[in-house]
Amino acid sequence: MLKLIINADDFGLAKGCNEGIIKALKDGIATDTTIMINLEGCLDAVILAKSNGIKRIGLHLNLTCGKPLLPADEVKSLVDETGSFYRRVKLLLPNMDLKEAESELWAQVERFKETGMGLTHLDSHHHIHMYEGLRDIVIDMARQLNVPLRQTDDETRDKIRAKGVRTTEYFTWEFYDNGVSVENLCSILDRYHEGTLEIMSHPAVPDDELSSKSSYSSQRKKELEVLTSEVLKKYIKNKNIQLISFDDLSREVQNG
């Protein structure tokens, strides 16, 4: 049997993201979400989650959007002249001091704890934790926090598991941009027959705020439509695909 996690990234990025993600979790097939805890929209996201009975979410570690939680002069290698994170990984990596990056990421963990939400798992914006140096740091963070971590490729999966950290067997980012359709999502699922698979998603109700913060905006509406599609729900049921969360992944390992 295939066990499927669909994670909604970017909780807290904008009100439109928050609204869309909650709808995907409540009315669709999304099973988890991860919050960008350094952004202004994170407070609205937490309030919205709690008001909908959601007590546990993941943390979307972030070094490429908004401003750091630590003072800019403590993380000089991570920010541009305005004190904001570099918006592209290719600008971040050549400048980055790993100790400063680690300090900022732990500050994000501490801010998450202040929300009172339970922590389901870790992943990262623009997949920063797949890059050398940062990967080891984030794997160790997940180990210390005793939570699963998203894997982005076979090499990263093996490194995560070698440290005793839980992750899925498979991961795909093919449900993105031109790949957003019911037909493509069903095609992706047809390739997997057993094990655990995470599919990354970005559902939202696009608004001006989101458009100003992300070039990937209008496509998010289509993602939400797909994730709440009755056709897709029936497909998953007929294929006997089990929707699970990262919490379920943790329980399976503990019980296994």
The per-residue pLDDT string of the chain (256 residues; one tens digit each, 9 = 90 and over) reads 999 999 999 999 999 999 999 999 999 999 999 999 999 999 999 999 999 999 999 999 999 999 999 999 999 999 999 999 999 999 999 999 999 999 999 999 999 999 999 999 999 999 999 998 999 999 999 999 999 999 999 999 999 999 999 999 999 999 999 999 999 999 999 999 999 999 999 999 988 888 888 888 889 999 999 999 999 999 999 999 999 999 998 665 444 3
User: What span, in angstroms and rounded, lies between the C-alpha atoms of 136 and 188?
Assistant: 29
- Write out the two tokens for 75: 């993380």
CATH number, domain with residue 167: 3.20.20.370
Lookup: tokens for 238: 């007929």
| Cβ atoms of 108 and 69 closer than 8 Å | yes
Q: How many domains is the chain built from?
A: 1
DSSP state of 126: G
Structural domain containing residue 163:
2-255
135 close to 163: Cβ distance less than 8 angstroms: no
